[in-house]
Structure 1
Amino acid sequence: MKEALASLDLGTQIRKLRNKRDLTLQDLANMTGLSKPNLSQIENNFVTPPIATLLKIATALGVPIGHFFQDSPQETNMVVVRKEDRYGVAKGPHISHIGYQYEPLAYPKVDKAMEPFIVHMEEREAKDIVYNNHRGEEFLYVLEGKLEFRCGENSVILEEGDSLYFDSIVPHGYRGIGGPAKTLAVIYKPA
């Protein structure tokens, strides 16, 4: 797996898109519901945004979330991403607040309604779960380990082989239990 966080440079990509659209940080904050200081930290690569946050930013900037992961976008009906071409996003000490690392699985595809990821969730205390929400739906399939998933007032424990489908507008979060957990996550965002 490539160590491509530095070359991915999410913050610079976001800043360039925001400036291209003549938006201030405050404009983007108003459009996303995120705080101006949080957006500044993201643009300066001090923090890596969780998937849901990146989705809100992408929507506000008028691009699909996959835009941020494309080295060379492919205009085709099919894309193949080889295991050795995948890379992790949100690695390193500056992302400990997120509680997970994610790998985009279909980043070369330009226009798509679904965004699949492999998500590596850290083991953490329930009080440290980070909650996110965004328009759309999500599907999780547990590949390894055990996790707690919380959505609104609901909490469920999922183990290897379990799956979950939910409305992602409701604030949700998860954590590894008894060690890290690895899932396949597919996010659907309506147009």
Structure 2
Amino acid sequence: MSTVGKRIKSYREKQNLTIEDLASRTALSYEFIKAVEEDDQYPSLRPLVKLARALGVRLGTFMDDQVSCDPLIVKLAEREEELTTHMAGEEPGMIFHSLGKSKTDRHMEPFFIEMLPESGKDTTLSSHEGEEFIVVHSGRVRLIYGQEESILEPGDSVYYNSVVPHNIGAADGGKAEIYAVIYFPE
């Protein structure tokens, strides 16, 4: 299986773009894009969204291995880690498991996300077009949405417009698990 970073590099090269070209299109630094392509590490989904938009592909394109037919069933035992975000100091923050991988005609990005304690230390707000729907599976989750902060517990859900600056992370220094569906308009 190819890594997300290798897939980004492949799409960039297919379009005859240099890292500098992509940096200019995304406002991400040359060094950052090079690290994404070579080291396969990301601080959050936000830069991946920027890269996908700049390359004219869906975010899920970076995670797709093969084309599937409907319905796409992902068994718990077959769920695989797709990408891990890293916080300052290289500590893992979140581990994303794509639940829509290989469904090439999808309009949503469903994930099971393991939120490690380190994720709660980052309160950087991000925004992008679209919507997000999250259900807390286990642990406690801190949501910052605009000027408001909320704590969500198992069974709680939230649905919001992601154009409003937001941040989500594990609360209270613990681990949490969520199901998230992200919609990015074309």
Cα distance change of structure 1 residues 128 and 45 upon mapping to structure 2, 3 Å threshold: same
Which residue of structure 1 aligns with residue 130 of structure 2?
136
1:132-176 residue CA offsets vs partner (Å, 9 max, x unmatched):
322111011101010111122221111111111111122321221
Q: CA deviation at 1:127?
A: 5.0
C-alpha separation in 1, matches of 2:107 and 2:140: 28
CA contact (8 A) 1:130 1:174 kept: no
CA contact (8 A) 2:81 2:98 kept: yes
CA contact (8 A) 1:103 1:119 kept: yes
Which residue of structure 1 aligns with residue 77 of structure 2?
84
C-alpha separation in 2, matches of 1:49 and 1:19: 23
CA contact (8 A) 1:10 1:45 kept: no
Segment drifting more, 14-23 vs 94-103: 94-103
Residue identity (%): 35
Which residue of structure 1 aligns with residue 28 of structure 2?
34
Cα distance change of structure 1 residues 154 and 8 upon mapping to structure 2, 3 Å threshold: farther
Counterpart code for 2:97: E
Query: Does residue 1:95 correspond to 2:89, yes or no?
Result: no
What SS does the aligned partner of 1:184 have?
Answer: strand
Q: CA deviation at 1:124?
A: 4.0
Query: Does residue 1:105 correspond to 2:99, yes or no?
Result: yes
Which residue of structure 1 aligns with residue 63 of structure 2?
69
Cα distance change of structure 1 residues 63 and 155 upon mapping to structure 2, 3 Å threshold: same
Cα distance change of structure 1 residues 125 and 29 upon mapping to structure 2, 3 Å threshold: closer
Counterpart code for 1:81: V
Q: CA deviation at 1:55?
A: 2.1
C-alpha separation in 1, matches of 2:43 and 2:105: 21
CA contact (8 A) 2:3 2:40 kept: no
Which residue of structure 2 aligns with residue 188 of structure 1?
183
Which residue of structure 1 aligns with residue 160 of structure 2?
166
Q: TM-score, normalised by structure 2?
A: 0.87
Which residue of structure 2 aligns with residue 123 of structure 1?
117
C-alpha separation in 2, matches of 1:136 and 1:26: 27
Q: CA deviation at 1:72?
A: 1.5
C-alpha separation in 2, matches of 1:166 and 1:174: 12
1:35-87 residue CA offsets vs partner (Å, 9 max, x unmatched):
2221111011252352232222112112222212222212x342112222221
C-alpha separation in 2, matches of 1:46 and 1:108: 20
CA contact (8 A) 1:100 1:121 kept: yes
Matched length = 182
Segment drifting more, 39-48 vs 137-146: 39-48
Segments of structure 1 that go 5 or more residues without pairing to the other structure are 1-6
Q: TM-score, normalised by structure 1?
A: 0.85
CA contact (8 A) 1:64 1:111 kept: no
CA contact (8 A) 1:132 1:173 kept: yes
C-alpha separation in 1, matches of 2:93 and 2:52: 21
